[in-house]
Amino acid sequence: MTTEPTPPTEPPAGDDLPHEGEDLSDLLTRLLSATQGRTQKDLASQAGISYPTLNAWMNRTRGTSRIDPERLRAMVEVFRSWGVRTTPREFFEAVGRPVPGPSRDEREARLLKLYRQLPESRQRALLKDAEAMLQVSRIG
């Protein structure tokens, strides 16, 4: 008695499983296929990217190494709004770049949130520390 081999199953799109060697075109194709009736035009419009540019990335007729990080983050947010699990890391790896830390705005918002949680005496101390760091950075 022999059994038929079971075909491998595809993981759900956007899963945290690595997709080795996946370029931006592959990633976008995979994520778009996980949406219900969404198109490249929908993605381009909602991410603030021109359709011809997105289409050129999809067809590999335009390089992806210099894509503005905010465009990559915008596409992540669009897919997330559509219910597709994805991460900025996937997008940055797909264009062959290291994943940057939080953006300047995100860092500033985090700092402000922490500052507001401190008692007033600690807020003053933090301001003095920041001023001292600024003075040191100007010297060096």
Q: Is the model more confident about 27 or about 17? A: 27
**What angle is formed at CA 68 by the lines to CA 12 and CA 83, rounded to 5 degrees?**
25
pLDDT score of 97: 87
Location of structure tokens 């899963």: 15
What confidence category does residue 104 fall into, taking pLDDT thresholds of 50, 70 and 90?
confident
What confidence category does residue 5 fall into, taking pLDDT thresholds of 50, 70 and 90?
very low
**Domain 24-94 is classified in which CATH homologous superfamily?**
lambda repressor-like DNA-binding domains (1.10.260.40)
Burial class (CB in 10 A: 0-12, 13-18, 19+), 5: exposed
pLDDT over threshold 90, residue 65: no
Query: Which candidate, 129, 88, 99, 98, places its Cα nearest to that of 111?
Result: 129
Domain boundaries, the chain: 24-94, 104-139
pLDDT digits (tens, 9 = 90+) for 36-53: 899 999 999 999 999 999
**What angle is formed at CA 115 by the lines to CA 109 and CA 116, rounded to 5 degrees?**
90
